[in-house]
């Protein structure tokens, strides 16, 4: 079994310029057979029904990948098949009037027992944050990225390039989509971040890593990151899925603590019930008393209270019963305790 458990959170914001949010996120901590599934999809701005395309992408992954993994299909093949089904669904829907040209990016990861399988189409990204290091795992499928890779454009010029949003690859643009797949060895303590271009265009990888490292709550970290994108103009929809890999023992301790807390509540509840519904005859001073609770003390604190001190002296109780009276003689009710006392007084 793997030495970590995955927990993820996703946030998507419309931004300050767009009229609709064409981004979609997927977080599935339990995708079956010890795996987890996460994704970000960005419907292409300016294309018809971009939000429909991104919804079809995450929907196809949500439906296909867990089902395939349940059939023992390896995560790599499951992700590829899921994205191919998404591509086919988008192509089919795009045949409807008014939907021609709709497409989406998609970056998805299946976290398995020892590694993560990242499948990627478009310019959404996956990052690995490990300690003080942050590394981009995916390669943008965009015209500007191609120019940078071929040395025709400096990386510093890419951010402001007029054609930075022109993609060379996306789901829905071709019948046969080409999918990049990367296997990433993982370990406890690693963090994965999936982002749409509206986020990573406004917030650098180093800034993202600093926010995530300094914010234990993943959902809060996502809101901070999308808030930064909005503060810097909010020119596009901005989305992030953040996945933290915790040591497995942390999950076990949390489950044990929850079980102990539940047991404690049950025990306390049972104890309270017993204290409120138990009675006995005891001794107060030199008199017999009817008590409620149990004849015991915890750290010197009595677990009983005196309902009534009777007029019967302990001396009137037969010697054979006085020791038991000091320890507490149980009764079902106050009336039963009174009847028991009358019986004791009458015994030789």
**What is the rounded CA–CA span in Å between residue 266 and residue 295?**
21
How far is C-alpha 192 from the chain's CA centre?
Answer: 14
Least confident of 24-28, 214-218, 258-262, 276-280: 258-262
CA distances from 145 to 150, 162, 237, 256, 288 (A): 9, 13, 20, 49, 92
Distance from C-alpha of 98 to C-alpha of 48, rounded to nearest angstrom: 7
Of the pLDDT bands very low, low, confident and very high (cuts 50, 70, 90), residue 296 is: confident
Q: Which of 203-207, 253-257, 261-265, 272-276 has the lowest mean pLDDT?
A: 261-265
Q: pLDDT band for 252, please (50, 70, 90 cuts).
A: low
CA–CA distance, 41 with 39 (Å, rounded to integer): 7
- Interatomic CA distance for residues 159 and 166, integer angstroms: 13
User: What is residue 107's three-state secondary structure?
Assistant: strand
Largest CA distance in the chain: 113
Give the separation between CA 28 and CA 163, rounded to whole angstroms: 34
Task: Determine what percent of the chain is predicted with pLDDT higher than 90.
Answer: 61
Q: Which residue from 338, 339, 336, 333 is spatially nearest to 277, judged by alpha carbons?
A: 333
> Could you tell me which of 271, 292, 286, 272 has the C-alpha nearest to residue 335?
292
The H or E element containing residue 5 is strand 4-13
| Calpha distance 310→342 (Å, rounded) | 11
* Span 58-91, pLDDT tens digits: 999 999 999 999 999 999 999 999 999 999 999 9
Asked if the model's pLDDT at residue 157 lies above 80, the reply is no
CB 303 within 8 A of CB 273: no
167 is written with which tokens? Answer: 């993609």
What pLDDT score was predicted for residue 145? 74
Average pLDDT over residues 137-150: 84
Mean of all residue pLDDT scores within the chain = 87
Long-range contacts of 330-336 (CB under 8 A, 24+ apart): 330/278, 330/279, 330/280, 331/279, 331/280, 331/281, 331/290, 332/279, 333/279, 334/279, 334/290, 334/292, 334/307, 334/308, 336/279
Using 50, 70 and 90 to split pLDDT, how confident is the model at 321? Answer: confident
Q: How far apart are CA 225 and CA 211, in angstroms?
A: 7
With a cut of 80, say whether residue 313 has pLDDT above it. yes
| Weakest-pLDDT range from 158-172, 263-277, 305-319, 325-339 | 263-277
Tell me the per-residue pLDDT of 86-101, one tens digit each, with 9 for 90 and over: 999 999 998 877 677 8
Q: What is the mean pLDDT of residues 218-234?
A: 94
Query: Is 4-250 in CATH node 3.60.40.10?
Result: yes
Residue that wins the pLDDT comparison between 107 and 300: 107
What confidence score (pLDDT) does residue 232 get? Answer: 92
d(C-alpha 3, C-alpha 1), whole Å: 7
* Residue 246 Cα to chain centre, angstroms: 11
Q: Please give the structure tokens belonging to residue 98.
A: 């008014």
Checking DSSP bridges between strand 35-43 and strand 23-32, what pairing results, if any? antiparallel
Residues in the chain: 348
Output the DSSP codes for 98-115.
T-TT--EEEEEEEE-SSE
More confident call, 48 vs 176: 176
Distance of CA 250 to the CA centre of its chain: 14
**Residue 159: pLDDT over 90:** no
pTM: predicted TM-score of the whole model, two decimal places? 0.72
The segment(s) of the chain belonging to CATH 3.60.40.10 are: 4-250
Model confidence pLDDT, tens digit, residues 20-46: 999 999 999 999 999 999 999 999 965
264 — pLDDT class (breaks 50, 70, 90): very low
Q: Which residue, among 14, 5, 8, has the nearest Cα to 239 in the 3D structure?
A: 14
Higher local confidence (pLDDT), 311 or 166: 311
Share of the chain above pLDDT 70, in %: 84
């Amino acid at each position: 079994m793997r030495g970590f458990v995955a927990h993820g959170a996703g946030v998507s914001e419309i931004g300050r310029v767009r009229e609709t949010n064409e981004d979609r996120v997927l977080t599935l901590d339990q995708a079956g057979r010890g795996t987890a599934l996460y994704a970000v999809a960005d419907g292409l701005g300016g294309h018809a029904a971009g939000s429909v395309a991104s919804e079809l992408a995450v929907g196809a992954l949500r439906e296909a990948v867990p089902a395939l993994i349940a059939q023992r299909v390896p995560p790599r093949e499951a992700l590829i098949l899921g994205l191919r089904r998404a591509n086919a669904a988008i192509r089919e829907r795009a045949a409807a009037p008014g939907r021609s040209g709709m497409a989406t990016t998609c970056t998805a990861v299946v976290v398995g027992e020892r590694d993560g399988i990242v499948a990627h189409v478009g310019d959404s990204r996956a990052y690995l944050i490990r300690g003080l290091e942050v590394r981009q795992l995916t390669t943008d499928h965009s015209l500007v990225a191609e120019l940078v890779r071929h040395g025709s454009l400096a990386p510093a010029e890419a951010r402001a390039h007029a054609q930075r949003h022109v993609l060379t690859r996306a789901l829905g643009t071709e019948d046969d989509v080409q999918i990049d797949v990367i296997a990433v060895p993982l370990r406890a303590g690693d963090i994965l971040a999936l982002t749409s271009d509206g986020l990573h265009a406004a917030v650098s990888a180093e800034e993202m890593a600093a926010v995530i490292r300094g914010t234990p709550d993943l959902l809060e970290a996502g809101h901070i990151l999308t808030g930064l994108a909005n503060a810097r103009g909010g020119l596009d929809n901005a989305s992030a899925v953040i996945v933290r890999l915790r040591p497995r023992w942390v999950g076990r301790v949390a489950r044990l603590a929850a079980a102990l807390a539940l047991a404690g509540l049950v025990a306390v509840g049972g104890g309270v019930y017993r204290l409120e519904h138990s009675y006995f005859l005891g001794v107060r001073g030199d008199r017999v008393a009817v008590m409620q609770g149990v004849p015991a003390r915890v750290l010197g604190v009595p677990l009983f209270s005196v309902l009534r001190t009777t007029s019967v002296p302990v001396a009137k109780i037969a010697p054979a019963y006085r020791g038991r009276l000091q320890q507490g003689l149980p009764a079902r009710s106050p009336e039963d305790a009174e009847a028991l006392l009358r019986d004791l007084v009458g015994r030789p």
